[in-house]
């Protein structure tokens, strides 16, 4: 399969997010949702479509496989008349009975709760109005029917051939019903690369009598260790537990100088396949990939983070007893300490994670997607 660079579109990555959108850091709540939809997603739709249309002129591909949040897939499907197979999360393809996305809400159990969800849905549609108008203007230029006023984030994916949902039912609120063209395919994880020999783990980590807590801020919001890494170390440095912090290269030397305790291990990167068998709890900023990796290794999690949809992910983890949802972007050390102790002391969480791990391992993600491609192209 040949590789084509972007021509018109701008590549947006964790490393250039703040540079491209410096004003984004000051936004939160509905303002952040509105900004992300219009500037982060919709502004690139036309460019992505034009790049793919140009590729098709020289290399006539017969189907598109994409992230469902590309949102140019609707133009490819209905203007280029090609089958599109998207990959998505249940959190951005909510069913009619679940809570609206982006606010970390739980399922409604009462009339008042359902009323609250209805109000939030209207507020969400209002906040997405600018992005939705711009998106429909792009669709109109290509003769494609508009999405509804409440059509984001799910409707562009709903109009594709198939959506492969990353994960399994145990990661969602009970009773979730996938939309008609969507199905769970199991855990979609990065392909393993051939790794050079890893450095041996410190003796304090592999000590079978030790309780080991790993902490990571993920791949996007990892430049300021004061958000999660430092509070976790502060919470546990004097507890007798071992803390392993991976920094992705952010201030590693300074953190090592600040925390010389023998039970604190700080590294740029650690091979988690090697580390995880020794870990008892994983403290994470709530990214879906990090949590999925933790569950595949059988680890309950402490989830922090409220941006980039992390509040929705953490809400499901807490609801399903797969871990503790701290419901905070900047958790205090005391809250982290309490959550870690709870996960270590209450076997309910380990059992729930073991059940989810078995469920995830029962899927054949790549085989399922390949089967759908061959059936529906």
3-state DSSP of 90-116: HHHCCCCCCCCCCCCCCCCCCHHHHHH
**Tens-digit pLDDT profile for residues 71-124:** 999 999 999 999 999 999 998 888 878 899 888 999 998 999 999 999 998 988
* 361-366: average pLDDT: 96
Instruction: Please state whether beta strands 242-246 and 264-267 pair in parallel, antiparallel, or not at all (unpaired).
Output: parallel
Maximum Cα–Cα distance for the chain, whole Å? 65
**Tens-digit pLDDT profile for residues 276-309:** 999 999 999 878 888 999 999 999 999 998 877 7
Q: d(Cα 262, Cα 204) in Å, to the nearest integer?
A: 8
Whether the CB-CB separation of 186 and 360 falls below 8 Å is answered with: yes
> What's the mean pLDDT when you consider all of the chain?
91
Give backbone dihedrals phi and psi of 57, rounded to 5 degrees, phi first: -60, -35
As given in the structure block, the two tokens for residue 184 are 């769970």
Q: d(Cα 64, Cα 7) in Å, to the nearest integer?
A: 18
Predicted pLDDT at 193: 61
* 205-233: average pLDDT: 88
Q: How many CA atoms does the CB half-sphere of 65 hold within 13 Å?
A: 10
Question: 8 pLDDT exceeds 90?
Answer: yes
Question: 197 pLDDT exceeds 60?
Answer: no
Q: What is the pTM of this model?
A: 0.90
Confidence of residue 56 (pLDDT cuts 50, 70, 90): very high
Predicted pLDDT at 262: 94
Question: 64 pLDDT exceeds 90?
Answer: yes
As given in the structure block, the two tokens for residue 127 are 């906040």
* 228-241: average pLDDT: 94
Question: 220 pLDDT exceeds 70?
Answer: no
**Is the backbone of residue 305 left (phi > 0), alpha (psi -120 to 50) or beta?**
left
Ranges of beta strands (E only) in the chain are: 64-67, 84-88, 162-166, 182-186, 212-216, 242-246, 264-267, 281-284, 301-303, 323-325
């Amino acid at each position: 399969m040949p590789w084509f660079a972007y021509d018109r579109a701008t590549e947006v990555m964790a490393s250039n997010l703040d540079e491209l959108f410096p004003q984004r850091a000051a936004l939160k709540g509905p303002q952040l949702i509105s900004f992300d939809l219009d500037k982060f997603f919709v502004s690139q739709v036309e460019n992505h479509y034009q790049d793919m249309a140009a590729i098709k002129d020289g290399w006539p591909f017969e189907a598109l496989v994409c992230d469902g949040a590309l949102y140019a897939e609707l133009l490819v499907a209905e203007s280029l008349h090609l089958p599109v197979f998207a990959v998505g999360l249940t959190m951005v393809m909510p069913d009619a009975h679940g809570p609206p996305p982006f606010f970390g809400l739980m399922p409604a159990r009462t009339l008042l709760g359902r009323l609250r969800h209805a109000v939030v849905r209207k507020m969400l549609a209002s906040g997405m109005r600018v992005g939705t108008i711009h998106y429909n203007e792009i669709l109109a230029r290509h003769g494609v029917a508009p999405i509804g006023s409440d059509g984001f984030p799910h409707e562009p994916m709903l109009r594709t051939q198939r959506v492969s949902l990353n994960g399994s039912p145990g990661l969602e609120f009970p009773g979730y019903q996938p939309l008609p063209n969507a199905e769970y395919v199991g855990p979609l994880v990065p392909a393993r690369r051939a790794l050079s020999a890893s450095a041996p783990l410190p003796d304090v980590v592999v000590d079978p009598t030790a309780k080991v807590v790993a902490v990571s801020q993920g791949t996007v919001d990892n430049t300021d260790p004061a958000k999660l890494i430092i509070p976790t170390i502060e919470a546990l440095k004097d507890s007798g537990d071992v803390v392993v912090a991976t920094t992705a290269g952010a201030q590693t030397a300074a953190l090592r100088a600040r925390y010389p305790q023998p039970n604190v291990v700080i590294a740029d990167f650690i091979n988690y396949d090697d580390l995880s068998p020794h870990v008892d709890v994983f403290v994470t900023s709530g990214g879906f990939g990090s949590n999925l990796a933790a569950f595949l290794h059988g680890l309950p999690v402490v989830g922090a983070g409220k941006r980039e949809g992390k509040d929705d992910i953490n809400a499901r983890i807490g609801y399903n007893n797969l871990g503790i949802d701290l419901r905070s972007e900047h958790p205090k050390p005391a809250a982290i300490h309490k959550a870690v102790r709870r996960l270590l002391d209450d076997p309910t969480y380990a059992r729930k994670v073991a059940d989810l791990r078995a469920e995830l391992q029962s899927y054949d993600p790549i085989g399922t997607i390949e089967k759908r491609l061959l059936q529906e192209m």
